[in-house]
Amino acid sequence: MKKEYLYAGTSVLCFGTVATVSKLLMNQLDALYVLAFSFLFATLFLGVYNWKKGFLCEVKKLTARIWIRMILIGSLGVFFYNYFLLLGTARLKAQTAFVINELWPALIILFSCWILKEKMNPGKAAAVIFSFLGILVVTTDGNLAEFSLGDSRGVFYALMAAVCYGMYCTLNKKEIYDKNLSVMISYAAGTITAFILVLIQGKLTIPTGSQVAGMLWNGIICNALPYLTWALALDLGNTAVIANLAYLTPFVSLILTHFVLGEKITVFSVLGLVLIVTGIIIQMIVNKKMEASEI
């Protein structure tokens, strides 16, 4: 097996555990408490990686302006994204929260048109429409006529997670700073923020062994490791081919939530995912034809 597919497969499997691990942790702990320790483990892991690769020496060259931009933009994709996703997962079935979160690629399209002034085309429009239809099917359990969202607050949190990550990816497109350092710094800032908030709430207690294991998994396997393996996969392989493998993640997540959490895989979860992926496939086909016509 080629290394790029091994790295990409690792990322898909790691990201696929997010919904299950989040649900298990939120059954026992507060969201900020989970983030504090998970981010700490992620920061340590990324710190060791950057040190081994010799990237840490570049930190002292960063200007105050770059530090601020790294932390502010990074907080969207690290702190707020994970915080809202945990809150949504606590109130919804894990598979529902994760499928709603898959709205972020469509939001990147919308935010890119708004912020980066990229042009909308039929492929992008199809991806957005199919994504929103998929989310509606999942959140209403297929009952579009009566439009009942079930736990509306849980849906709101999961949607906000998608918004934060979509905005993070869009804003990051404009930045030229080192992404390895920016992610590490984002996790470090998130760690400090989460611990301060936990201390203010007076909820800082010693976690049990199983809780440490869960937060260690969440910090490294769900966050830090797949980021690195995904970056390596994109560097080694064909970007378009590797990027398409990301759409296997929600299906892996559905399987894990079923066998680990005992959640029944609903027809509406699968249908919602199929609609979302269909939109992305249409976008890819239309974009490829448009690029070919321009040659």
DSSP H or E run through 245: none
> Residues near 206 by Cβ (< 8 Å), separated by ≥ 6?
none
Tally of domains in the chain: 1
Q: How do the pLDDT tens digits run along the chain, 295 residues long?
A: 578 889 888 998 999 999 999 999 999 999 999 999 999 999 999 999 999 988 888 888 889 999 999 999 999 999 999 999 999 999 988 888 888 888 888 888 888 888 888 888 888 888 888 888 888 888 776 665 554 556 789 989 999 999 999 899 888 887 778 878 888 999 999 999 999 999 999 888 999 999 999 999 999 999 999 988 887 786 676 665 666 677 788 888 889 999 999 988 888 888 888 888 888 778 777 767 766 665 5
pLDDT of residue 25: 94
Task: Judge contact between 268 and 130, C-beta under 8 A.
Answer: no
User: In angstroms, rounded to a whole number, what is the distance separating the alpha carbons of residues 287 and 290?
Assistant: 5
SS (H, E, C) 86-97: HHHHHHCCHHHH
> Residues near 28 by Cβ (< 8 Å), separated by ≥ 6?
211
- Determine the structural domain holding residue 189 and report its residue range: 3-294
Residue at 174: amino acid letter: K
Taking each continuous run of H as one helix and of E as one strand, the counts in the chain are: 15, 0
pLDDT of residue 79: 96
- DSSP single-letter state for residue 173: T
pLDDT of residue 160: 96
pTM of the shown model: 0.87
Task: Judge contact between 7 and 233, C-beta under 8 A.
Answer: yes
Burial class (CB in 10 A: 0-12, 13-18, 19+), 176: exposed
